[in-house]
DNA sequence: ACGCGTGCCTGTTGGC
DNA sequence: TGCCAACAGGCACGCG
């Protein structure tokens, strides 16, 4: 399940391959994977050059030379990988695979595949007025790496929901999913079902530091490959070998040695240590 | 306004 | 061995 470190890794592995190249066309093999009222066929008309590849929260962004269509200034393509989405770069011609949903045809036969077994992911344009026309885009908050400590404290404090639930809300803080929520809460020594509003200023600052640390550590290891996630070059990440809690229910805590517990918080499987987290 | 439960979607896993 | 329910979970949506 690609979260911030995985999307960041895909962006970093994709950028050197496709930056500076023109998009010739887009093939949509599954209608629901193209989530825009503007037609993807306009790419074949404008053939924009990709400038850079970036990330906003868990959205992967391809910025290209803007063009105007139906009164909208199109700035680039946004991909949300959700759970099983993958982006692969191929320098050689390649047949679509079973789960290939979108193919981006570049110059010289090079292509980018958007594969997505469960079809939760999507691709669409982002435009100069996405803040008016795209609710998710408008509400998407900064990620922990972009936030100053005081910004994080301000965003989270006073919320009545469980702190884990708050961490998963992309309009409060972006980029975090089930894995990094559990890992950061463990590092910070905070129980996942504590009400966010019950956390002290010191705990909130520690949680922010823990989030930044776990996200940066994971980026260093090219993200976590549980099952589906790969880099744009098809390589696995290795941060899954560094997990303290995620997927380790019943196994011993790396710090105190006691078995880790599991419960549902915010509707998600949650693993934690009753001894090390308060 | 906010928190919570449900549906979307399909491949994998585990129990009988 | 085969069947099938349970499970994985980000986000939109509807309800109270």
Task: Give the per-residue pLDDT at A151.
Answer: 94
A55 is a catalytic site residue: no
Spatial separation of the C-alpha atoms in residues A252 and A160, rounded to whole Å: 31
Q: Answer whether A144's CB lies under 8 Å from A176's CB.
A: yes
Task: Measure, in angstroms, how far nucleotide C15 C1' is from residue A143 CA.
Answer: 30
pLDDT tens-digit map of A94-105 = 899 999 999 999
* Angstrom distance (rounded) from CA A204 to CA A157: 8
Which residue's CA is nearest to the C1' of nucleotide B2? A160
Catalytic residue among A55, A58, A230, A248: A58
Residues 5-64 of A with CB under 7 A from strand C: 57-58
Alpha helix (H) residue ranges in A50-105: none
Residue A17 has pLDDT above 90, yes or no: yes
Residue A5 annotated in active site: no
Which residue is nearest nucleotide B5, judged by alpha carbon to C1' distance? A267
pLDDT score, position A99: 92
Q: Which bases in strand B are touched by protein, i.e. have an atom under 7 Å from a CB?
A: 2-6, 8-12
For β-strands A23-28 and A50-56, DSSP reports them as unpaired
Question: What residue has its CA nearest to the C1' of C10?
Answer: A82
Percentage of chain A exceeding pLDDT 90? 84
Over residues A95-123, the mean pLDDT reads 94
Give, in Å, how far the C1' of C1 lies from the CA of A255. Answer: 43
Selected catalytic residue, list A3, A6, A17, A203: A3
Q: pLDDT tens digits, residue range A200-238?
A: 999 999 999 999 999 999 999 999 888 788 899 988 898
Per-residue pLDDT, A225: 85
Q: Can you give the C-alpha Rg of chain A in angstroms?
A: 20
Q: Is the pLDDT of residue A2 over 80?
A: yes
- State pTM to two decimals: 0.96
**Which nucleotide across the nucleic acid strands is nearest to A264, CA versus C1'?**
C9
Q: How far is Cα A268 from Cα A178, in angstroms, rounded to an integer?
A: 7
pLDDT tens track for A43-94? 999 999 999 999 999 999 999 999 999 999 999 999 999 989 999 999 988 8
Distance CA A244, CA A273 (A): 10
Known catalytic residue at A2: yes
């Amino acid at each position: 399940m690609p979260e911030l470190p995985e999307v960041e890794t895909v962006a970093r592995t994709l950028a050197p391959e496709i930056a500076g190249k023109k998009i010739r066309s887009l093939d949509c093999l599954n209608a629901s994977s193209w989530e825009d009222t503007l037609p993807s066929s306009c790419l074949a008309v404008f053939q924009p050059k990709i400038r850079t590849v970036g990330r906003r929260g868990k959205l992967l962004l391809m910025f290209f030379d803007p063009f105007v269509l139906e009164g909208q200034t199109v700035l680039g393509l946004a991909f949300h990988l959700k759970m099983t989405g993958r982006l692969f770069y191929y320098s050689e011609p390649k047949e679509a695979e079973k789960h290939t949903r979108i193919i981006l045809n570049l110059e010289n036969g090079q292509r980018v595949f958007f594969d997505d077994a469960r079809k939760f992911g999507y691709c669409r344009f982002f435009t100069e007025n996405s803040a008016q026309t795209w609710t998710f885009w408008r509400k998407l908050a900064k990620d922990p790496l972009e936030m100053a400590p005081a910004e994080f404290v301000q965003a989270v404090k006073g919320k009545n929901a469980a702190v884990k639930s708050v961490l998963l809300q992309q309009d409060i803080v972006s980029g975090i999913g089930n894995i990094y929520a559990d890992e950061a809460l463990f590092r910070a020594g905070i129980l996942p079902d504590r009400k966010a509003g019950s956390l002290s200023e010191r705990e909130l600052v520690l949680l922010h530091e823990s989030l930044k640390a776990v996200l940066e550590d994971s980026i260093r290891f090219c993200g976590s490959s549980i099952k589906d996630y790969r880099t744009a070059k098809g390589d696995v990440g290795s941060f899954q070998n560094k997990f303290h809690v995620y997927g380790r229910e019943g196994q011993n805590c790396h710090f105190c040695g006691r078995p880790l517990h599991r419960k549902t918080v915010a509707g998600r499987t949650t693993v934690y240590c009753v001894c090390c987290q308060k």
